[in-house]
C-alpha cells in the first residue's frame, strides 16, 4: 500500500492531543511519514513517540494551565454564555491566521499530503482552502453538528420527547445558535475575508464537520443521538484511545480488591481537578465506611492533602492510576465526564456516575444518562447522598449492565486505527495526491526536519 506524509495538528490540551496519539503511532508503524504540530508543552510527549515535532510559533499556545494568565479579563466574565462566547473567539478562533502561517512555513520543508487535526483546531478549514491540502478532522467530543432532530448542542439537553419536547427543541434551534455562535461566525468571516474566501454560513461547530474532506467521529453510533440529517462527511471509527507503549500492567491492587465487595474508581480529570470538593471529596465521604476499595486518580492535584485527610486502608489516592489495568476490575467509575475516560470505561463495560458541566462535559454526561450506561447526576457538585443514591441505582438496576455490555460489543466491531488510515486514504484520493513512492522529488525525511 502507498504511504503518505501526514501532519497532525492539535489544540494544546490533553483532551485534544491524547485521542490522536494511538492512531499517530499506528500510522507511523504502517510506514507513513507522520509529524505533529502543537504547543511547545507537548514536545516531550511527541519526542517520546519518536515523531518529528513542530511548535506553535506565530500562534500562541493557550493551554489549560495558562488560560487565565493569557486572558486575565476572562476571570471577570459573568455567566456561562458570555464565557463560552469569549472562549470561542479568543481561544479557538484568535489563533486561526497564525496557525495557517505556521503550517505554511512547515509546508516549505515538509510538503504534507494531508492534515489530520482535532475538531478544535479551527484553522483546518482555512488550511484546506488556502494551501489546497485535504483536512481530515477528528471529533474528540460527542458529535456537535446541528440537526433538525435535536436540541442545539452545548446545552446538555437530550432529544425532546413527544410534541412538546419537539416544539422545545425547534424553538431552541431558532434562537440559541445565533445567541451563542452569531458573534463568532461574524468574527470568523472577518478572519477569512483577506484570503478571498466566501463567507461561511455554518456555525463554528458545524464548519469542521461539513467542510473538511472527511470528519472522523471518535465513538460509535450506539453512543450518539439518532439523526436523520447527519452530514455524509461523518464516519464513526470507534473509540480513539491514547497510545500505550506496552500492554497494560497487572492490576496493582488486585490482592487488596479481593477483600472488598466493590471497586470504585474516582477522577475529576486533568482540567477540572483544582477543587477536589466538587466530586472527589463527596464521593469519598459517601463510600469511605463501606466495604469498597476506593481508587482516586488526582492528576497530580492535592494528592498529599487527600492522602492525609483520608488515611483509611480502603482508600488509595495517587497522582496516576492506570485505567487500562484498573477498569476490568472496577464496579463503578465516578467521573466529571471527560470524553476519553468515558469511552475507555465503556470499552470495558463499566457503568458510570457522571457529574460534569463545563468544557462540553454536559453533552457527555447527558448521553450517559440517555443511553442508560450510567447515571447523570445533573450537577458538577453532587452531594454525598446523591452519589450514594446514584451508585445504588447503577448496582440494583440491571439495565445499566445490559446497556454497558451492548455498547462494549459495539466497540469491538470497530478497529479505530485501521479505519482512520482507511479514511485518510479516501480523503487523499479525493484530492488526487500522489503517494511518497511516486513523488521522490519531494523533500526526504532527513532533509525536512
- pLDDT digits over 143-155, tens only? 999 999 999 998 9
User: pTM score, two decimals?
Assistant: 0.91
Separation of alpha carbons 338 and 124, rounded Å: 24
Q: Helices in 233-296 by DSSP H: which ranges? A: 254-257, 280-287
Contact 149, 225 (CB under 8 A): yes
Q: Which residues pair with 294 in a beta bridge?
A: 264, 315
For CA atoms 256, 261, 282, 77, the dihedral sign is positive
Closest to 263 in 3D by CA, of 329, 319, 213: 329
Measure Cα distances from 186 to 77, 85, 212, 260 in Å.
21, 12, 20, 57
Pairing between strand 332-335 and 315-318? unpaired
Predicted confidence at residue 11, as pLDDT, reads 95
pLDDT tens string 10-52: 999 999 999 999 999 999 999 999 999 999 999 999 999 999 9
Q: Would you state the cell numbers that stand for residue 415, as one nine-digit string?
A: 478497529
What is the homologous superfamily of the domain 253-410 according to CATH? Glycogen Phosphorylase B; (3.40.50.2000)
Q: Give the DSSP H/E element, type plus range, for residue 209.
A: helix 204-211
66 pLDDT band, cuts 50/70/90, is: confident
82 pLDDT band, cuts 50/70/90, is: confident
HEC letters along 309-350: HCCCCCEEEECCCCHHHHHHHCCEEEECCCHHHHHHHHHCCC
Q: Which residues pair with 196 in a beta bridge?
A: none
Per-residue pLDDT for 443 more than 50?
no
For helices 80-87 and 162-192, the axis angle rounded to 10 degrees is 40
Question: Cβ–Cβ contacts within 10 Å for residue 109, how many?
Answer: 11
Mean pLDDT of the region 436-445: 40
Measure Cα distances from 36 to 14, 93, 117, 180, 417 in Å.
14, 20, 10, 32, 17
269 pLDDT band, cuts 50/70/90, is: confident
Per-residue pLDDT for 259 more than 90?
yes
Residues in the chain: 449
435 pLDDT band, cuts 50/70/90, is: low
Q: What percent of the chain has a predicted confidence (pLDDT) above 90?
A: 80
Q: Give the DSSP H/E element, type plus range, for residue 385.
A: helix 384-396
Query: For all residues of the chain together, what is the average pLDDT?
Result: 91
Q: Give the DSSP H/E element, type plus range, for residue 298.
A: none
Q: Give the DSSP H/E element, type plus range, for residue 218.
A: strand 214-218
- Identify the residue whose cell numbers are 480529570: 269
With b for 16 or more beta-carbon neighbours within 10 A and e for fewer, the 205-215 pattern comes to: bbbbbbbbbbb
**If one looks up domain 5-238+414-431 in CATH, what number appears?**
3.40.50.2000
Pairing between strand 234-238 and 214-218? parallel
For helices 96-109 and 162-192, the axis angle rounded to 10 degrees is 60
CA–chain centroid gap for 373, Å, is: 19
Mean pLDDT of the region 411-439: 84
Collapsed DSSP state (helix, strand, coil) of residue 408: helix
Separation of alpha carbons 174 and 161, rounded Å: 18
| CATH 3.40.50.2000 domain position(s) in the chain | 5-238+414-431, 253-410
Separation of alpha carbons 317 and 313, rounded Å: 11
For CA atoms 146, 147, 148, 152, the dihedral sign is negative
Predicted confidence at residue 245, as pLDDT, reads 79
Predicted confidence at residue 284, as pLDDT, reads 97
206 pLDDT band, cuts 50/70/90, is: very high
Amino acid at each position: 500500500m502507498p504511504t503518505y506524509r501526514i501532519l497532525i495538528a492539535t489544540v494544546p490540551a490533553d483532551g485534544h492531543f491524547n485521542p490522536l496519539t494511538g492512531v499517530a503511532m499506528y500510522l507511523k508503524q504502517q510506514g507513513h511519514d507522520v509529524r505533529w504540530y502543537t504547543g511547545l508543552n507537548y514536545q516531550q510527549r511527541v519526542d517520546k513517540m519518536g515523531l518529528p515535532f513542530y511548535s506553535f510559533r506565530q500562534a500562541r499556545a493557550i493551554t489549560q494551565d495558562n488560560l487565565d494568565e493569557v486572558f486575565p479579563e476572562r476571570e471577570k466574565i459573568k455567566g456561562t454564555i458570555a464565557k463560552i462566547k469569549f472562549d470561542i473567539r479568543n481561544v479557538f478562533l484568535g489563533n486561526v491566521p497564525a496557525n495557517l502561517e505556521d503550517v505554511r512555513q512547515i509546508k516549505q520543508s515538509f510538503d504534507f499530503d494531508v492534515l489530520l487535526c482535532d475538531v478544535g483546531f479551527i484553522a483546518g478549514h482555512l488550511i484546506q482552502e488556502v494551501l489546497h491540502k485535504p483536512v481530515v478532522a477528528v471529533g474528540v467530543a460527542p458529535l456537535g453538528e446541528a440537526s433538525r432532530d435535536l436540541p442545539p448542542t452545548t446545552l446538555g439537553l437530550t432529544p425532546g420527547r413527544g410534541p412538546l419536547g419537539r416544539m422545545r427543541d425547534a424553538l431552541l434551534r431558532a434562537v440559541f445558535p445565533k445567541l451563542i455562535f452569531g458573534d463568532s461566525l461574524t468574527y470568523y468571516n472577518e478572519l477569512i475575508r483577506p484570503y478571498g474566501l466566501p463567507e461561511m454560513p455554518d456555525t463554528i461547530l458545524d464548519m469542521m464537520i461539513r467542510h473538511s474532506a472527511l470528519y472522523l467521529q471518535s465513538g460509535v453510533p450506539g453512543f450518539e443521538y439518532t439523526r436523520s440529517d447527519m452530514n455524509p462527511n461523518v464516519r464513526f471509527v470507534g473509540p480513539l484511545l491514547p497510545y500505550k507503549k506496552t500492554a497494560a500492567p497487572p492490576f496493582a491492587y488486585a490482592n487488596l480488591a479481593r477483600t472488598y465487595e466493590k471497586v470504585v474508581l474516582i477522577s475529576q480529570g486533568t482540567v477540572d481537578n483544582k477543587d477536589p470538593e466538587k466530586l472527589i471529596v463527596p464521593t469519598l465521604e459517601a463510600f469511605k465506611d463501606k466495604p469498597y476499595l476506593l481508587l482516586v486518580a488526582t492528576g497530580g492535584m492535592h494528592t498529599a492533602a487527600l492522602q492525609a485527610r483520608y488515611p483509611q486502608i480502603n482508600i488509595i489516592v495517587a497522582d496516576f492510576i492506570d485505567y487500562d489495568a484498573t477498569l476490568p476490575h472496577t464496579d463503578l467509575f465516578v467521573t466529571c465526564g471527560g470524553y476519553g475516560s468515558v469511552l475507555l470505561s465503556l470499552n470495558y463495560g463499566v457503568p458510570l456516575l457522571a457529574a460534569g458541566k463545563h468544557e462540553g462535559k454536559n453533552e457527555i454526561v447527558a448521553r450517559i444518562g440517555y443511553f442508560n450506561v450510567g447515571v447523570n447526576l445533573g450537577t458538577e457538585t453532587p452531594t454525598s447522598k446523591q452519589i450514594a443514591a446514584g451508585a445504588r441505582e447503577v448496582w440494583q438496576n440491571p439495565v445499566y449492565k445490559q446497556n454497558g455490555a451492548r455498547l462494549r460489543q459495539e466497540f469491538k466491531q470497530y478497529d479505530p486505527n485501521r479505519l482512520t488510515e482507511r479514511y485518510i486514504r479516501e480523503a487523499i484520493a479525493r484530492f488526487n495526491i500522489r503517494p511518497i513512492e511516486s513523488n521522490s522529488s519531494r523533500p526526504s525525511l532527513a532533509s525536512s526536519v
